[in-house]
Amino acid sequence: MSIEEWLDERSEKDRVLYQQYGKSLEQEHRGKFLAISDDGKTIPGKNDVEILAQAIAEFGSGNFAFVRVGHLASGLWMNVGQ
């Protein structure tokens, strides 16, 4: 699988994860950063670097969505080349 194919697949998976597990957090956590594991575990917080480091430690690199709650564009940055 090429990197472009992996990024496309990951981006779609991230979109689905956000719809399933992140959307319901918009009222309480809007504007915060959110890591969502492939099995739906979430880590919300204000510091993007801390949340990213925690998600890598807990879920493993490449095994989670990383978005800003309520900000669709931050979850789509990998699709810029399309």
Domain chopping of the chain, boundaries: 3-79
Q: What tens digit of pLDDT does each residue of 7-30 get?
A: 889 889 999 999 999 999 999 999
Yes or no: say if 25 and 67 are a contact pair by the CB < 8 Å rule: no
Q: What tens digit of pLDDT does each residue of 31-80 get?
A: 999 999 999 999 999 999 999 999 999 999 989 999 999 876 544 444 44
**Nearest CA-CA partner of 74 in 44, 41, 45, 32:** 32
pTM: 0.80
Quick one: pLDDT at residue 54?
97
The percent of the chain in helix, strand and coil, each rounded to the nearest 5, is: 55, 20, 25
> pLDDT band at residue 82, thresholds of 50, 70 and 90?
very low
Q: Positive or negative CA dihedral for 54, 55, 56, 58?
A: positive
Strands 64-68 and 33-37: antiparallel
